[in-house]
Amino acid sequence: MAPKKVFILFPDGVGLRNFAFTQFKDIGDSMGFNSVYWNNTVFSIKETLGYPELKIENTKIHPKTAILNRARKRVELKISEKRFNDSVYSTYTFPLSYKGGKSILKSLIVKFYEGFYSTPKGWGKLKNKIYKAERSTERYNYCKAQLSAHRPDIVFCTTQRATQAIAPILAAQDLGIPTACWIYSWDNLPKGMSTIECDYYFVWSQLMKEQLMQYYPKTKEHQIFVTGTPQFEPHFNQNLLLDRKDFLEKYGLDVDRKYICFSGDDKTTSPLDQYYLQDTAEAVKKLREEGYNLGIIYRKVPIDFSDRYDFVLEKYKDIISSLDPIWKPMGERWNEVMPTREDFNLLVNTCRHSELVVNICSSMVFDFVAHNKPCIYPNYEQPQLKQGIRDIGQNYNYVHFRSMPKDAVVWASSKEDIYSGIKLILDNKIDPVPVAKKWFGIVNRGDKPNEASKRIWEGMESILQ
């Protein structure tokens, strides 16, 4: 019997980390699948990795799609706010722009749909408008022709978020080809970030499965596969681990010194992130004065190319060592900054050889707990906070944090708490890791987190049978 042909669709670069740079394809090959990367990104999978690739050269979506999709998201959040009587959903929206004629027009269109379509029926009509627009494009016909020529048995989309995924998925469905979709991140479902509808879905956890059916009631249980995420699989790959001495020497770090990691955040999530790094540096400076031989490894968020941290890095250059993520900008937008395989090695060993991580509310807590390392979450306002700047405390109120046991991290309610938290962890007087592991098991399928890729392939096998 011929191997089943799977088109792995990359509408943008966010899926590369999970499905190109892990062992995902190798596992699929060993199970008898024929994988072809249906690639809509500027990153060349064939040239870089040597994998079979079919490029989508036509990337022009319908002019209406971006506006309609923004309206769709705001409508969806309005519906959730009414349905659950919960104001948290309004905090997921970003302000509309009224600068310049084009921006004003776009914003007025979005407000019109938000005002008159914020019902389940209106939401359905809005989705149909998006699909009708995309079906009218040359891009849709282009994708349909590619599918007709290559006839995959299934199309697996690596993110549900991208408008670039709409036409390829519609083309597959219109040809009767089964479609499946990976829900990209642990926070995406409550935020109204599902741009496409597929025949099947793959999710991190039972919690995400319940959310998928909660927010999208027409989705049925048999359509959902709970697999865990490949995102954390490299942390369980012993072949990636370096000896501590080798790792520190490779990056010019002091082998006699203990390091904590400060993992940076994007400007939207933590606009004053540089000041939390400064507070962490001050805490380490104080601990050094008390005899602790400590340093900071600063790992910035890969999509941040601002200079906002520069003054801190210069002022505390004897304390902070920057180990930048090994990602490559392939364009000007955030989703055109592409990861590399080398960065997995860097991230895994940074987690392994740091004592703990300080971070504002990201899933880095799980990267570190995979190595039995604790996390400190700062949760206090900076004096630089003023009107128009987002307070990080808002992040911890989001729906995806409601799964979090209180003691899964060390909370820093003031900058002094960063100092005391680090000290308590180093002195073995506090250990949030056991609780964090329980949380990890809630957010990501708890049994065998190193087998997520295998379970995804098993799910596709089940679909095709």
pLDDT single digits (tens) 95-115: 899 999 999 999 999 999 999
Beta-bridge partners for 411: 377
pLDDT of residue 236: 95
What pLDDT shows up at residue 194?
A: 96
Confidence of residue 343 (pLDDT cuts 50, 70, 90): very high
* DSSP β-bridge partners for residue 296: 260, 320
For 38-67, write each residue's pLDDT tens digit: 999 988 999 989 999 999 999 999 999 999
- The model's pTM is 0.95
Q: What is the pLDDT of residue 446?
A: 84
Tens digit of each residue's pLDDT (9 = 90 or more) over 437-452:
999 999 999 899 999 9
Average pLDDT in the 373-378 region? 98
Task: Give the lowest-confidence range in 24-28, 110-114, 431-435, 445-449.
Answer: 445-449
407 has pLDDT over 80? yes
Reported as a single tens digit per residue, the pLDDT across 151-197 is 999 999 999 999 999 999 999 999 999 999 999 999 999 999 999 99
Average pLDDT of span 1-12? 92
Gap between the Cα atoms of 421 and 432, Å rounded: 11
* Residue 330 pLDDT greater than 80, yes or no: no
Segment 192-205 shows an average pLDDT of 97
Instruction: Report residue 341's pLDDT band, with 50, 70 and 90 as the boundaries.
Output: confident
Q: CA 117 to CA 122: how far, in whole Å?
A: 4
Question: Is residue 334 over pLDDT 70?
Answer: no
- What percentage of the chain carries pLDDT values higher than 90? 89
pLDDT of 394 over the 80 cut: yes
Annotate 35-60 with DSSP letters as a single string.
EEEEE-SSS-HHHHH---EEE-----
Average pLDDT, rounded, for the chain: 95
Mean pLDDT of 298-305: 89
Count of other CB atoms within 10 angstroms of residue 424: 16
Q: What share of the chain is helix, strand, coil (3-state, %, to 5)?
A: 50, 15, 40
Do the bridges between strand 357-359 and strand 258-263 make them parallel or antiparallel, or are there none, so unpaired?
parallel
The pLDDT, as a whole number, for residue 180 is 98
Domains for the chain: give ranges and CATH numbers: 4-61+137-229+449-464 (3.40.50.2000), 65-133 (no CATH), 238-443 (3.40.50.2000)
3-class DSSP state of 108: helix
Which whole number is the average pLDDT over 17-26? 94
Of 408, 375, 169, 126, which Cα lies nearest the Cα of 263? 375
In this structure, what token pair is assigned to residue 355? 């004592």
Q: Are 314 and 348 spatial neighbours (Cβ–Cβ below 8 Å)?
A: no
326 residue type, one letter: I
Q: Supply the DSSP symbol for 299.
A: E
* CA distances to 282, 290, 291, 293, 356 from 285, in Å: 5, 9, 10, 10, 16
**Whole-number pLDDT of residue 340:** 82
Judged against a pLDDT cut of 70, whether residue 223 lies above it is answered with yes
Helix (H) or strand (E) holding 455: helix 452-464
- Reduced to 3 states (helix: H, G, I; strand: E, B; else coil), residue 9 is strand
Q: Is the model more confident about 26 or about 336?
A: 26
Say how far apart CA 253 and CA 24 lie, in whole Å: 33
Classify residue 324 as left (phi > 0), alpha (psi -120 to 50) or beta.
beta
Does the pLDDT of residue 1 top 70, yes or no?
no
The pLDDT value recorded for residue 331 is: 61
pLDDT tens, residue by residue, 268-286: 899 999 999 999 999 999 9
Q: pLDDT confidence of 424, banded at 50, 70, 90?
A: very high
Query: Tens of pLDDT along 345-371?
Result: 999 999 999 999 999 999 999 999 999
Give residue 249's pLDDT band: very low, low, confident or very high (50, 70, 90): very high
